[in-house]
């Protein structure tokens, strides 16, 4: 189990709609990961199961999309992941030891958006 390294991706426009399924398809194409995940695909997520890194289902908390040919963090994707970490969408099954690191990773993007993470309220 692993939290991905913070990539400090550029931010997409704050008003950009978030469709995780469509973003996943674009990220797979951009990363050249249509057959199996790779490091570029991993960088679009916050967490993955390192023991199953060759399976797409091992990747959780997608926060990025391909915008104008570049991988960018999408504010609404970050907020969606933040809501998941708050349990707003049923939560996500992560090892307890990774939860604080995932929140720290997401908090860096909230800071970059001049916002605060929902768990800081």
- Indicate if the pLDDT at residue 86 is higher than 90: no
Percentage of the chain beyond pLDDT 70 is 98
pTM: 0.93
Report pLDDT for 96.
Answer: 86
H helix intervals, the chain: 20-31, 39-42, 75-85, 96-112
CB neighbours of residue 45 within 10 Å: 20
Structural domain boundaries enclosing 40 = 2-120
Nearest CA to 118 out of 12, 16, 107 is that of 107
């Amino acid at each position: 189990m692993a939290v991905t390294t913070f990539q400090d991706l550029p931010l997409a426009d704050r008003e950009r709609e978030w469709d995780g399924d469509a973003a996943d398809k674009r990220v797979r194409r951009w990363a050249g990961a249509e057959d199996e995940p790779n490091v570029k695909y991993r960088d679009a997520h916050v967490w993955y199961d390192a023991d199953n890194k060759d399976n797409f289902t091992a990747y959780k908390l997608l926060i990025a999309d391909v915008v104008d040919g570049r991988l960018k963090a999408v504010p609404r994707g970050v907020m969606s992941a933040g809501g998941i970490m708050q349990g707003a969408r049923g939560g996500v099954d992560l090892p307890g030891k990774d939860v604080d690191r995932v929140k720290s990773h997401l908090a860096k993007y909230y800071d970059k958006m001049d916002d605060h993470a929902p768990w800081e309220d």
